[in-house]
Amino acid sequence: MKKKSYVVVGGSSGIGWSLLQQLSAAGAQVYHYSRSASLPAHIAGVKHHPYDVCSDLFPTETLPEQIDGLVYCPGTIKLVPFSRLTANDFNKDYTLNLLGAVAAIQACLKPMRKTKTGVSIVLFSSVAAQTGMPFHALTASSKAAVEGLTRSLAAELAPGIRVNAVAPSLTDTPLAAGLLADEQKRKAAADRHPLKRIGTPTTFLRR
């Protein structure tokens, strides 16, 4: 049987890193993109390409002819009082969360359409897009844009390509390190959730 081909942007740490390992274990061929020169460790079936979504054109020449799925992971948690935020902060956040996803989807559309059935795009939102929380203006507005893109493309690309967004709450990754820096913060974060724990990349993706 032909190996499935996936494109993952932002899998060098956190949730994306866990995803790379799970795709590798499932025997997939993965085309990975992030700023790092290389991945933290070799993973069978994963080919890494250095790429900065905020400054580079997507290297379409590195993509395979057919793609079964695309996952776009880069995102931010920059908690700042609204009065201190600048237009530049909003531009940078929107570029990383939304425009990077747009560029990746547009680059992958043709090879995804060649696959014809069962193709899936997964984007990342945040609970902050739907739940009002202080100091989340940046993340909440960029991720709300991601959710808008998700709904619109889900309608436009159906039935051949499914489009979904995952909206994690606090998950134990390098991105959230500052919010989970000591036991007191971890316990307070866990207590804010009905399950009384914070998420981890592995439990998050395993089904």
Ligand X SMILES: NC(=O)c1ccc[n+]([C@@H]2O[C@H](COP(=O)([O-])OP(=O)(O)OC[C@H]3O[C@@H](n4cnc5c(N)ncnc54)[C@H](OP(=O)(O)O)[C@@H]3O)[C@@H](O)[C@H]2O)c1
CA 157 to chain centre: 19
| CA dihedral over 52, 31, 142, 149, signed as positive or negative | positive
Residue 54 as a binder of ligand X (CB under 6 A): the answer is yes
> Would you state the structure tokens that stand for residue 112, as one six-digit string?
């995804």
| x/- map, 122-161, ligand X, by CB under 6 A | --x-x-----------------------------------
Binding piece for ligand X, criterion CB under 6 A, among 23-31, 70-78, 81-89, 185-193: 70-78
Alpha carbon separation from 88 to 34, 92, 94, 95, 174 (Å, rounded)? 22, 6, 10, 10, 24
Rounded CA-CA distance 189/81 in Å is 19
**For residue 57, with 0-12 CB atoms within 10 Å meaning exposed, 13-18 middle and 19 or more buried, which class applies?**
exposed
Min dist. Cβ of residue 180 to ligand X (A): 8
Residue 118 as a binder of ligand X (CB under 6 A): the answer is no
Residue 76 as a binder of ligand X (CB under 6 A): the answer is yes
Residue 178 as a binder of ligand X (CB under 6 A): the answer is no
Give the one residue of 16, 31, 46, 163 binding ligand X; rule: CB under 6 A.
16
Rounded CA-CA distance 124/159 in Å is 21
Give the one residue of 20, 23, 74, 101 binding ligand X; rule: CB under 6 A.
74
Residue 52 as a binder of ligand X (CB under 6 A): the answer is yes
Comparing CB distances to ligand X, the nearer of 14 and 111 is 14
Nearest to 33 by CA among 15, 65, 68, 59: 59
Give the one residue of 35, 78, 92, 185 binding ligand X; rule: CB under 6 A.
35
Contact positions toward ligand X, by CB under 6 A?
10-16, 34-36, 51-54, 73-77, 96, 124, 126, 168, 170-171, 173-176
